[in-house]
Amino acid sequence: MKKIKVCVLRTAGTNCDKETAAAFNLAGAQADLLHINSLVNQKAALSDYHILALPGGFSYGDDVASGKIFANELRFKLAGQMREFIHQGKLIIGICNGFQILVKSGFLPGNEDLQQEASLIINDSGKFEDRWVHLKSSKSKCVWTKNLPKIIYLPVAHGEGKFITLNKEVLNKLKNNGQVVFQYCDGQGRLAGYPDNPNGAVENIAGICDSTGRIFGLMPHPERHIFKEQHPGFWNQPKNVKADGCGIFKNGVDYIRDKISEGVL
């Protein structure tokens, strides 16, 4: 079987690219770190990859707004490659800054004109939030979250993570179409306010997908919980406990592996 190749796309200010690549490698893929200029200048081709990962960090120093410059590069310089990649049935994941990029480029929630319908804005607390949070898995069509536990535990680290939508119509569409993937919650799975919801996101939304379930964005960092020893309460955990972030990357790799076996990719 051909290798499952992941493009971890970075630029100035990206700082979670190596961790994201390590998570995909651990899941059985081959991850390459690629600067966005390699695609813009056609020194590399997105079509050579099965999965596109937009990692966390502070692309271009979060100048203008978090992820906005990188988002404009995707939309105005790479839209053709991106559309073809999506049309081929491949996968995209955006983590933290990557989520901000996908939302501000219009690839999430997703529409034909790439019009921005949502955003991630300054936390209600007015400060950078860096802590572990509980996430409740919603009943969604997202291929990245198949068979995950109902509640998982991941770290957040962001200053602009409050998810909002352009209007109530967009929000209702996300909810009714199974595109809300994760919601911030307390340890019992109940939707709660600050600090369980670290940024004040509308409806406690921490992650969404597009209408196909193949493009996924989330604010928490699954690549920072791929080993059980990374859990802050590791010493009190059962010996057979698994790191919650691993399942997300494994689901993506397994999905592509199945499609290759079926001859689709």
Query: Mind telling me the catalytic residues?
Result: 96, 221, 223
**Secondary structure in 3-state letters for 139-182:** CCCCHHHCCCCCEEEEEEEECCCEEEECCHHHHHHHHHCCCEEE
Coil/strand/helix, residue 125: coil
* C-alpha neighbours within 13 Å on the C-beta side of residue 119: 11
User: What pairs with residue 6 in β-bridges?
Assistant: 31, 51
Q: Please give the single-letter amino acid code of residue 51.
A: I
Closest CA to 94 of 84, 83, 102: 102
Q: Please give the single-letter amino acid code of residue 135.
A: L
